[in-house]
Amino acid sequence: MKKLKVIGYEFFTMPGLGGSNEFIAANLFLEDGNVFTLYNIPRFIAIECMRLTNRFVNDFRLSISEVLAEIPELEKAISRNIKNIVIDGFDPELGVYSATIRKKNGDSKEIRVIPSHALLLSIIGGIDIYVKEELVKKQIKEQKSY
């Protein structure tokens, strides 16, 4: 499986259908120059990611992810135990992507997670996150068909 490394990201809002509530999306900038977009990001996850990377500060209090990031032992435990994270699945019935956390140290256990939560975990632990190239190509093809 070929995978592309995420080298940056940005969150943005989009209007909902029929002018209803807006929703949050994220553009993931990939090492090959392509952009992979995740939709329906929970607002709190987007805010946590932005707070951890100093892109959003509106409160003097720390959030849970900021508290976790302030505990060096936790950051070390995460980075010591996780090899990488790959956004590698799509469920067409639900219309959602999924990510897999691959552990280190010969542990073959894989953990399936919500991609936006995986992005937050990668920020906290300083772990590389990737997108399966096949998903990128499929998304680009679908965008061209609109």
The pLDDT tens digits for 29-73 are: 999 999 999 998 988 888 888 887 776 667 778 777 778 777 888
pLDDT score at 146: 66
Between 118 and 71, the higher pLDDT residue: 118
Tell me the two tokens of residue 72. Answer: 């060096």
Task: Kindly list the distances between the CA atom of residue 106 and the CA atoms of 53, 77, 79, 83, 85, in Å, as whole numbers in the listed order.
Answer: 31, 16, 15, 10, 16
pLDDT score at 104: 85
With a cut of 90, say whether residue 1 has pLDDT above it: no
Q: Which listed CATH number (3.40.50.1480, 3.10.690.10, 3.30.360.10, 3.40.50.150) goes with 3-144? A: 3.10.690.10
pLDDT score at 38: 95
Report pTM. Answer: 0.85
